[in-house]
Chain A
């Protein structure tokens, strides 16, 4: 947090990951698929990065790079084997409840109960975040109209379309108005219209001073949205910096291919 005391213009650290290592034990089936002798899969291999307050940070990486694993660690769903990460100064290892109270986390693995309606679930999760009835009501009005959920507020989640489900998930993930938003592949499986609703929303949140971290393998999304990028390949940070730094004047996609070749072949 050294930046804290620095001048007004210096950005403040909001998320810092330090040497995060995470190994999964593979099941017998996975072992064959991964052709792993040891039965272990190193998903994150000493990953470090820093995101600053008020920016959108993009975690870019190919399938299996470890993006979701990193974000799950930030959300305290899983624990790192080594290293620690800090969100607004709270350690994900030592103060998981404080971390959870300050973040809004979205990933495809978090499901909503099919049986309940968006309105009910909004109320339920709102109470778990300690919100009172009035604030909750107001917030629900805002978010439901923002995402066009109003008409579906009383439809069971199980009966909603994929896109509407994703919008409900987003609304619920940030209902407590967190200062840090962590979205894993937020536009996956969405049509361009719905995807735009999501990216517009993220830009809006940034404008309100929120800090955002998104993971994706979609270059255009990073180019459109992100201030800074971290490129993860094989569980390691291959490059980190502003969008301009990382792409180095080329389209991001080309820069990524170069990076990938260099990292994988070790040249």
Chain B
């Protein structure tokens, strides 16, 4: 046990005393992700732009759709006289405004009357826009869908969700389900790339430089060496992943809206515990796998390139939640896949303790197995000395 601690301490000293490693694995990933997402965010930011529309005969019903209570209006409506219509159209053409909307006179009363008309005789809402302008087109699509929704909910035999009912999802939950798809993928990718920056160096690198042989002639047991390596590499990989995650945390909302923070605020302590346990088992499995690959490799370079195919597989498994989710218990026996699915369950608030237990239990078996394999490899002179 004390040997394991000694090895962990040495691995940490190796890492934290090396400015190049600390910057490269702890600072840069987070920083790069932040810069990248922020840049991407500023490109796609238009989706949350507010548009300007000039309105003739404004409609209360429409205005309340555009700006539901307590929320910022997506479109700034300003009233104009019918006589100014041509001037307003010119503004749309030259980009000073995005839309001109002309409601028929008495539009709201007509809605309240609930009268239906034969096709072609219904009151017409004119929407003028400029398809040459991205923001005008976007505003048009938005207004069109709002009006379409308004019409659907009014003009038929019955209403759906007009006077009562509605989406019961809270804002936090809506964001949660959004992040539920994305987060498992991000977490897995960050863990994997964090580990790939550290484990090949620590195992294949020590082999390549001949420093591992010096350790092997001490009375340390191979299993202690393996456990010390895996424990320290797991912590460092997790730190690197956390760095990436902080970058994401700060920048992702700029990219896709909402906030991860509010998504997180809605979880209970139990869910956090579950999340922590799953991530811990994920990091241990990933570190063990990359360590095994690294001890096969003759050099750091070879270890890194051998780890790439596995990374592709892990990333593909990571996006599996975006495509489908399983609730079959047996599926939670599949390593890595089970982590992704349980994380998705936690994030989307459809969390099952049974699946968590299956995941953690089976992962524990896999980890023990992988540590055993790695110990075997460390005992093999073919592996250690490439002979």
Show the binding face of A for B, using Cβ within 8 Å. 24-25, 75-79, 97-98, 100-101, 103, 105, 109-116, 120, 124-125, 127-130, 172
Contact = CB atoms under 8 A, between A and B. Distances in A.
Given A78-B381, A100-B219, 11 more contacts: A25-B387, A100-B218, A105-B217, A110-B210, A111-B210, A111-B214, A115-B14, A115-B17, A116-B14, A128-B6, A130-B2
B217 A101 contact: no
A44 B111 CA distance: 100
Interface of B: 2-3, 6-7, 10, 13-14, 17-18, 206, 209-211, 213-221, 381, 385, 387
B221 A97 contact: yes
Contacts of B215: 128
Nearest to B21: A115
A24 B217 contact: no
Contacts of B206: 113
Given A24-B387, A79-B381, A97 B213 contact: no
A128 B10 CA distance: 11
B211 A111 contact: yes
A62 B218 CA distance: 29
A167 to B, nearest CB: 15
A191 B219 CA distance: 32
Contact of B2 (A100, A111, A114, A127): A127
A36 to B, nearest CB: 15
Given A111-B209, A111-B210, A128-B3, A77 B381 contact: yes
Contacts of B18: 115
A127 B220 CA distance: 10
A25 B382 CA distance: 10
Nearest to B382: A25
B251 to A, nearest CB: 34
A112 B214 contact: yes
Contacts of A113: 14, 206, 209, 211
A124 B387 contact: no
Given A78-B381, A78-B385, A128 B210 contact: no
A127 B7 CA distance: 10
A136 B305 CA distance: 41
A120 B17 CA distance: 12
A50 B107 CA distance: 110
A121 to B, nearest CB: 9
Contacts of A101: 219
Contacts of A111: 209-211, 213-214
Contact of A109 (B6, B10, B13, B213): B213
Q: Which 8 A-B pairs have the closest CB atoms?
A: A111-B210, A101-B219, A110-B214, A128-B218, A78-B381, A127-B6, A100-B219, A113-B211
Contact of A125 (B209, B218, B221): B218
A120 B13 contact: yes
A43 B258 CA distance: 68
Contacts of B10: 124
Nearest to B387: A24
Given A79-B381, A124-B10, A109 B219 contact: no
A125 B216 CA distance: 11
B379 to A, nearest CB: 9
B216 A77 contact: yes
